Amino acid sequence: MGGAALIASPIVDRYARDVLAPGWQKSHLKKTRDVPVELDVVVEFGDFCGAVVGWENGLVLLEDRRGKRRAAPFGPGFLLEGQPVALRPPLRGTPAGPAYTASGSRVSAEPAKARVALPSRIYVEGRHDAELIEKVWGEDLRHVGVVVEFLGGIDDLPAIVADFRPEPGRRLGVLVDHLVPGSKESRIAEEVYRAGYRDTVLVAGHRFIDIWQAVRPDRIGRKAWPDVPRDIDFKKGTLAALGLPHADQADVARGWQTILARVTSWRDLEPQLNTVVETLIDFVTQDHLDDA
């Protein structure tokens, strides 16, 4: 070899490891890691994908973007960002995560400064509607400085709009019940728009006969709200079907408070109402975003 140095090649022993040793069948699978459960974490379980909205009695409650819910037991079987995980109960002493308002908005760690009310307003038709909006969105509305006014009836809307004289920076948002094509509500909304306020007034509503039906029926232990004949007062007929006192307005007020007590956040409401209210808040604050 003429004294040339030899280059030593490493010897590879392809049979140093016993390929049939215990566990070889699962050696190619991804390992499942334990993850403490947290609110709002999005996971997959079987064919269901949703955010964690709570846990109780060994079950994790998930909710998808359409508002459908499913419970799954703690342990393996979940996917987090495509990786297999076993959800475990939260660790004791774990620092609390971000706090959220009842509407789902994140609460700042810094104390909020008091805000001067904006010129824009939101009108809400019905006392029960106003109470529900306050319970779920009240904190958010105070944060952005939007005052909610009580609208006694949709018939009063044209006069209210004419007196308010909306303009850019001074908008009106209006929430009404049963805003469907051909209804009185839709005709009055169109009357307001024809008066020249289409750009500064937004009349938005939901399909429900009454705001009561915007509460998810499972919150009152039912699969659906009672079907009340049109010739019967809706609220009294609903209470009667639920087996609650319904003789007079005092019974109606107590019945509504019973229903309202079951609402703790936006998750207890039908998605359509959540969308409508958020749209109204965006509409009346859009001229003031730079002030936030």
Amino acid type, 283: F
Of the candidates 93, 82, 79, which has an alpha carbon nearest to the alpha carbon of residue 35? 79
- Per-residue pLDDT tens, the chain, 292 aa: give them: 444 444 444 554 555 555 445 554 555 556 888 999 888 888 999 889 988 888 877 888 888 877 788 888 999 999 988 889 999 887 665 444 455 677 666 665 555 555 678 899 999 988 899 999 999 999 889 888 899 998 888 999 999 999 999 999 999 999 998 888 888 999 999 999 999 999 999 999 888 989 999 999 999 889 999 999 989 999 999 999 999 999 999 999 999 999 999 998 888 999 999 999 999 999 999 987 555 4
